[in-house]
Structure 1
């Protein structure tokens, strides 16, 4: 294909929207290349439902080749940029290196798990940012409940059916709510020792659940969690994680085999290699999403610090809602830089938030209207169906089946613990033998380890804010593979 060469790095909310919009605008007059480690766009907001068996994994994985006609997909993970030569260097899934030349570059590499300097967390916890992690959590929780029902020692039984979720943002809250329903359903068919029940705890140093949301919706979510049986502890977090439990900041030790890490995200370390100014690890751009001094380079989504024109002096938070909208603005401005249309600054209007609390419970404030209960549940699911760029019928069918049939609580054994380390840069890429933890599929040197960036925004997901914080984790149990 002839025409200007446009390279988009990353197919998350921002990158996918950029590619889709540019493909429609270019009408095959531009060479659009999308570089991504996988061949699908992951709809993160529904990942907790995959972890508890409501949705099958492929429902939240939207095919890039099937939904982006006119866009060339290159499988690989970027590990270097040469802005003077206008090239992107990447490693493909088989470890071979390649180079892409561009006339316009869009950096939409997203974010990775945010680690805090808490002893034991990196070793004994996992994140919740990809399909491998969701599948592993489902197996792990199922296994712990099955082992607990056969456990003779009451203390070991209690530890196996205790699940700790750290981070009361969008993802952590949903994981705790759905997880409690999932384990309660399991013990109805296989009772635990007398007087024991699955115990889920949601911890956060914040003063309330869902601090990103309106206080009324925060109270609604808190009430729904407690009604479901989740122990909500605000102002409390993990001080140290051990192989047999966690020590809390209030001094209590909780015996557990499961630690779900949902405390937030940090920008992908790739942006540091640009050598341009950063704001808390995010690449600083102007209101048109262009990198100052590099008019041919654009950035959007979690990797970009985009000025918030509605709040002068501040930057837009790292949420899926912003990433999705910024992707469209980036596409329009890339086209304008090539002489098609006029560029425009990124300015947003808050559409509100939705959060699924399992069953018929949810909390939402579409366009500022606070909702709760079944009405909020219907709005939440309707929003997701409208927002998903594909697989809508399959998702709706899974929801219908889940409402009339019991879930299948079985272990699939597809993902091992070693394949989903918390510090991995790309949770979508299962680590293979011989590949160092935290390295993506090429040479270990292409993704150096970086210290976590303290990002006050709570993480990946929005509008369904992206998992604000997003995640899941577990402490390996005895006999746990």
Structure 2
């Protein structure tokens, strides 16, 4: 066979495709007749549905990531970025963390580059805004919330205190609602350790441009979620847009203005920029144009899936598969099998899915679910949320570690310590050096 399969991206699609190829092509890989390479900036895959729990301290951040080299011993992992794809020449330009870029040749390419946060040109967004797609962002957000509780406890200035205790989340999809619910639950629980902060002092604002929250779980469950959030004292602003947040002064389209130290941006995603630096065809939404067989339309030896790919939904003609983890994991299985069929000259099959449903966590012991038409809320939905995602975490190793974290949380209170200095570990040393020079 002697083919080089290059996978751009080590997320859901990249990891699960490589894992299945590693099993299906075991003999060829051992004999050197086929090679698989993954290129990704990180050496791990992040299981994003668990980011809210990591941010809230229910899970260790190391347990929501899967190390690529350990899971894929027969796959070569290159850490860095693909800056250009020249499929006509079957090469990509690879930029490692250090050193000059170089060309990497391939026979078959899999575009699994995923997505990045879709932002808007809003004044001040880069000043206080933070995304919620990476484990680093989740932990930085956790540290920030806890640090601001410390700030509020230690100041006598009411304006500083009010600004520190105001938190804004933009976007009411899965990421926004789950992040807000878990962090609000953690912050409220943490107030028991502060003398001068009560749960009612915390202000959480959810800003959503449409007229509903969690559209993925259906109108009825979405309305229930909205009621639950408002009962918890969360200020949910529907059909409202963020106009500005310069210097932490938030201005919304409904005319309201207030100061906030923290703003979480979860208002959608867009394909990774690498898709624009390739000669592969794109659709009207800027995604790689695909067929139902997960091949790149009009090309040979090229496959794509996940957030960066426009995959037709054959169960709903005229529509495309949504950019979510459920599709990514299922597409990866079909994608890997189709690559094997392609290498062996066999007929490819279409990606066809049956909608399972959606589950969302709303903090400890609270959730909402719509699975196979069965609608659940409260504790049963929360339990289903955890059970479903535990079944999707790659490797037994990670499953066991997650269960251990959850079990310990039943007997011990979660940690509410800010370790924000981890984000700037050299500051104290630099200050010591500066003092010495004086």
Residue number among 394, 404, 412 corresponding to 2:401 in the alignment? 394
Aligned counterpart, 2:11: 12
| Cα root mean square deviation, aligned | 1.7
Residue number among 99, 119, 125 corresponding to 1:121 in the alignment? 125
Q: d(CA) in 2 for partners of 1:122 and 1:196?
A: 29
Aligned counterpart, 1:414: 422
Q: d(CA) in 2 for partners of 1:191 and 1:198?
A: 14
Q: Is the 8 A contact 1:300 1:327 kept in 2?
A: yes
SS at the partner of 1:389?
Answer: coil
State the Cα distance separating 1:132 from its structure 2 match. 1.5
Aligned counterpart, 2:250: 246
The TM-score with structure 1 as length reference comes to: 0.83
Q: d(CA) in 1 for partners of 2:248 and 2:120?
A: 20
Q: d(CA) in 2 for partners of 1:393 and 1:291?
A: 37
State the Cα distance separating 1:305 from its structure 2 match. 0.5
1:176-215 alignment runs, 5 A limit: 176-192=180-196, 197-215=201-219
1:318-333 alignment runs, 5 A limit: 318-333=323-338
Q: Is the 8 A contact 1:177 1:230 kept in 2?
A: no
Task: Confirm or deny that 1:403 pairs with 2:410.
Answer: yes
Q: d(CA) in 2 for partners of 1:402 and 1:193?
A: 24
Residue number among 91, 97, 111 corresponding to 1:93 in the alignment? 97
Residue number among 62, 81, 89 corresponding to 2:66 in the alignment? 62
Q: How many residues align?
A: 416
State the Cα distance separating 1:155 from its structure 2 match. 2.4
My pick for the range that moved more, 402-411 or 190-199, is 190-199
Distance 1:311 1:163, change over 3 A: same
Q: d(CA) in 2 for partners of 1:196 and 1:296?
A: 58
CA offset digits 1:417-451 (Å, max 9, x no partner): 9xxxxxxxxxxxxxxxxxxxxxxxxxxxxxxxxxx
Aligned counterpart, 1:51: 55
Aligned counterpart, 1:316: 321
Aligned counterpart, 2:294: 289
Distance 1:230 1:340, change over 3 A: farther
Q: Is the 8 A contact 1:180 1:229 kept in 2?
A: no
Aligned counterpart, 1:21: 20
Q: Is the 8 A contact 1:291 1:297 kept in 2?
A: yes
Residue number among 361, 364, 372 corresponding to 1:367 in the alignment? 372
1:65-464 alignment runs, 5 A limit: 65-192=69-196, 197-275=201-279, 276-339=281-344, 342-390=347-395, 391-412=398-419, 413-416=421-424
Q: Is the 8 A contact 2:289 2:310 kept in 1?
A: yes
State the Cα distance separating 1:93 from its structure 2 match. 2.1
Q: d(CA) in 2 for partners of 1:181 and 1:140?
A: 15
Tell which has more relative contact order, 1 or 2 (C-alpha 8 A, sep 6+).
Answer: 1
Q: Which has the larger radius of gyration?
A: 2
The TM-score with structure 2 as length reference comes to: 0.91
SS at the partner of 2:267?
Answer: coil
Q: d(CA) in 2 for partners of 1:150 and 1:236?
A: 34
State the Cα distance separating 1:226 from its structure 2 match. 2.3
Q: d(CA) in 1 for partners of 2:14 and 2:282?
A: 21
Q: Is the 8 A contact 1:18 1:328 kept in 2?
A: yes
My pick for the range that moved more, 84-93 or 157-166, is 84-93
Q: d(CA) in 2 for partners of 1:27 and 1:36?
A: 23
CA offset digits 1:292-340 (Å, max 9, x no partner): 2321011110111011112212211111111111111111111111116
SS at the partner of 1:246?
Answer: strand
> Any unmatched runs of 5+ in structure 1?
418-481
Q: d(CA) in 1 for partners of 2:199 and 2:308?
A: 48
Q: d(CA) in 2 for partners of 1:71 and 1:253?
A: 52
State the Cα distance separating 1:146 from its structure 2 match. 0.6
